[in-house]
Structure 1
Amino acid sequence: MPGTGGVTRSTLRQQIADALRDEVLAGRLRPGRAFTVKEIADQYGVSATPVREALVDLSAQGILEADQHRGFRVPEYSVADYRDMIEARSLVTDGMFQVLASGHPAFGTPPEDPRTAAALTTVRRRGEEAQRAAAAGDLTILIGYDLRFWRELSNLFGNPYLTAFLDRLRVQSWVCAVQHLLRLPDLRGRLWAGHTELVDALARRETETARRIVAAANSHSLALLERLTGG
């Protein structure tokens, strides 16, 4: 990792974690790929300590798995795992929509709160970028914007535990899905792209519409993976 001589260990730890996370989410580190702390330290030309810390962080996020005897490896998630992730995500988002319908101030009334309006504009912009990436079939760009979209959307509920939990689920979902989606030679038009429709429904507090949008997205993603795996 060039140019790291002047950075702190904490920064180096984050840089390594970000680099490996991107490799896994892009599908360049394949499921089952195992490696040791020393291997990664040698690859980046750094000491073992920040590498070990970065790998532990990624394990906590579900991006890697710790192997007691061999170091770390990329998880091998099955379609059954993906179904469980979808179910868990649905339980979280249904709860979000329920409290919003019950009067949770997450989205406020934009004319009364400029900060809410600005936050919704930002979330919608992430959704527009995700939709463009989906239309172009650019999986790596889509994943990045999709994760940012959901992170910023859940942030509006003001509960950092909710945001962290949902983000972890969505990251794991993409780690599972990407290995199968890369089998398709052309992803244009094959990936869900209803982000702006969802945020607009939530901004209007049309929670039942939002629930249907998310349910359709989940069904679409699961059906696509099942077709690709024969599952």
Structure 2
Amino acid sequence: MEQGGARDAVPAASVRPAEQALSAGRACVPEQARGEHTHGEPTGSAVPCVAAGTGQVRRHSVRGQILDALRDALVGGELVPGEIYSARALGDRFGVSATPVREAMQQLAVEGAVEVVLNRGFRVAERSARELSELAEVRALIEVPVMLRLARAVPAHRWTELRPLADASVAAAAIGDRARYAEADRAFHAAVLALSGNRRLVEVADDLHRRAQWPLVSAPALRRADLLADASEHAALLDALVARDLPVVQSLVREHFTGAAG
């Protein structure tokens, strides 16, 4: 850690899920991105990337890849609330220059996940239990009425089509992968709300959902059992929606918002 407090020497274990996301999952960092970033390149521009094992060149946004990786690291608790991280140190960890990291961090600052600390880097926001409770209340005000309306109107087979998304969240929970579960959880809720046909609703709800997934200050790590309990509520919700059991739908949605992982 540098004298100013920014984490320039990032521990080997830190942001490891993010590093894995870049190398094996959602993103691949192209060779052209390793090393110095061209400052004349447009912000978030795409660069060629050879998908591992395919030989096929695809175009990806380095900034977008880093943003996804940092979001995973936030959800997984690898970026610690209250700590300051420099773009240079994170860039070294990801094998890119500081520029795309800084651009991604600026987006996270807009979302409220981090705060800009002049000449030092970015401090991970410290959230309280009260903030989490407020987010749950707002989400319930938005989503409960929508889900009740959908329960009355959407045919049973449309809910059945969402079973694979519910299963994906269970699979992520079963291996205790907090970042993957968070992504599967948001994908499930987004798919449910998308049946309303209101894209703005889906966007607003997803932003609130993402904020609710950031870890609390000094919160204990979620156990696999906690994630599995949360994931099981997705299947229960689908069952209630198929049956058009409105009281159960309302109860499950409210409980899910206030749960440990949802």
Give the number of aligned pairs.
209
CA drift at 1:55:
1.4
Q: 2:85 aligns with which of 11, 16, 35?
A: 35
Q: Which has the larger share of helix?
A: 1
5+ residue gaps, structure 1? 111-116, 223-231
- Of all paired residues, the percent bearing the same amino acid is 30
Question: What are the residue-to-residue correspondences of 1:51-90 with 2, within 5 Å?
Answer: 51-68=101-118, 70-90=120-140
CA drift at 1:69:
5.4
TM-score scaled by structure 1? 0.74
Deviates more, 1:67-76 or 1:13-22: 67-76
Q: Which has the larger share of strand?
A: 2
Look up the match of 1:225: none
Question: What are the residue-to-residue correspondences of 1:86-165 with 2, within 5 Å?
Answer: 86-100=136-150, 107-108=154-155, 110=157, 117=158, 120-134=159-173, 137-165=176-204
Look up the match of 2:251: 212
SS at match of 1:65: strand
Deviations 1:195-224 (A, max 9, x none): 0111232244433321111223345439xx
Larger RCO of the pair (alpha carbons < 8 Å, separation 6+):
1
Distance 1:57 1:215 in 2: 29
Deviates more, 1:87-96 or 1:136-145: 136-145
5+ residue gaps, structure 2? 1-21, 23-28, 34-44, 48-59
CA drift at 1:88:
1.1
Identify if the C-alpha distance between structure 1 residues 109 and 79 changes in structure 2 by more than 3 Å, giving closer, same or farther.
Answer: closer
**Could you tell me which amino acid in structure 2 is paired with residue 71 of structure 1?**
G
Distance 2:258 2:65 in 1: 35
- Native 8 Å contact 1:198 1:213 kept in 2: yes
SS at match of 1:72: strand
Look up the match of 2:234: 195
CA drift at 1:132:
4.2
- Native 8 Å contact 2:148 2:250 kept in 1: no
